[in-house]
């Protein structure tokens, strides 16, 4: 579908580029509908990325599933298709520009447009994390470079490859994934923290740059998830029997809502940032953290 107003399927609120009528709650609700939009999620084969893909599809978007593991990407896309959603597997490495360019070609061939980019690829690496009793002064150089490359350049390259297509439709949205580690000093995860802090700065800088270049045609925001159990942090936060580790207990005690997040709890904020409901919002980093970031611990 080419640029312009997208049409909704039967029974769905319309997606429109026209401002909602003042006081119209029905029109305001329709702003959250993504019918007719095409969304790409990198890192989509991970726990959080996969939930984001499902959430965007459930709100009407056609979705492209991008991850390094081709089999898992195909599996997820096929599962979504079996539920009646439009989904395309686009295996690629966010640090490999040619593979991203091939993914772009596949998306444009299948859908003809791209409206949303969610940069969910990333993660920590053991070598860039201080072990108990270790010194920062002895931390290896190569693991630090790798974790910064994965999280920072793994966000920069997709934006460069897909940005022009996002701007064409007039309501493009980029959502980067930050972290509590960017907002608060968290022990041990030094490389990951630095990379995610760079994402926050990149988000604000691109919001300014793209706002000047495209007006409201391409917005850039970020989400900063709190603590969600995934494959990378499970052993740090939970014992084998499912009870909390000492680190897990410290985090829960510092979280006003008193628990870890559930992956689906990221979807509401994500849909808001991807949709016309946030059409005047750019350059913000939204915590989804149960209150962790605002708590002093005292």
Identify the band that residue 186 occupies on the pLDDT scale cut at 50, 70 and 90. Answer: confident
Q: Which residues are identified as catalytic?
A: 192
Identify the band that residue 72 occupies on the pLDDT scale cut at 50, 70 and 90. Answer: very high
Nearest to 140 by CA among 150, 126, 152: 126
Q: Please state the rounded mean pLDDT for residues 36-62.
A: 97
Q: Which domains does the chain have, with CATH numbers?
A: 31-226+266-290 (3.40.50.720), 233-260 (no CATH)
Answer yes or no: is pLDDT of 263 > 90: yes
Contacts of 241 (CB under 8 A, 6+ apart): none
238, 191 contact by CB (below 8 A) = no
Half-sphere exposure of 15 (CA within 13 A, CB side): 25
DSSP annotation of 58: H
221, 188 contact by CB (below 8 A) = no
Cα distances from 273 to residues 125, 174, 268, in angstroms, run 28, 8, 9
């Amino acid at each position: 579908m080419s640029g312009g107003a997208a049409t909704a399927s039967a029974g769905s609120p319309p997606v429109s580029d026209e401002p909602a009528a003042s006081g119209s709650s029905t029109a305001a609700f329709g702003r959250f509908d993504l019918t007719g939009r095409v969304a790409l999620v990198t890192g989509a084969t991970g726990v959080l990325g996969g939930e984001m893909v499902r959430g965007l599809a459930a709100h009407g978007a056609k979705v492209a599933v991008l991850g390094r593991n081709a089999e898992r990407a195909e599996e997820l896309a096929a599962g979504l298709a079996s539920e009646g959603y439009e989904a395309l597997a686009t295996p690629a490495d966010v640090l490999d520009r040619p593979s991203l360019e091939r993914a772009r070609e596949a998306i444009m061939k299948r859908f003809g447009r791209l409206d949303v980019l969610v940069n969910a690829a990333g993660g920590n690496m053991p070598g860039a994390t201080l072990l108990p009793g270790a010194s920062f002064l002895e931390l290896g150089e190569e693991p630090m470079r790798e974790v910064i490359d994965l999280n920072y350049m793994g966000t920069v390259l997709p934006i460069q490859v897909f940005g022009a297509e996002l701007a064409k439709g007039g309501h493009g949205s980029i959502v980067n994934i930050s972290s509590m580690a960017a907002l608060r000093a968290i022990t041990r995860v030094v490389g990951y923290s630095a990379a995610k802090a760079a994402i926050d700065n990149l988000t604000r800088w691109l919001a300014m740059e793209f706002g000047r270049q495209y007006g409201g045609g391409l917005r850039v925001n970020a989400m900063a998830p709190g603590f969600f159990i995934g494959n990378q942090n499970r052993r740090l936060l939970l014992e084998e029997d499912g009870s909390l580790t000492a680190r897990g207990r410290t985090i829960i005690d510092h979280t006003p809502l008193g628990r870890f997040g559930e992956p689906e709890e990221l979807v509401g904020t994500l849909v808001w940032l991807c949709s016309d409901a946030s059409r005047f919002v750019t350059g913000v980093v939204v915590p989804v953290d149960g209150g962790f970031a605002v708590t002093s611990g005292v």
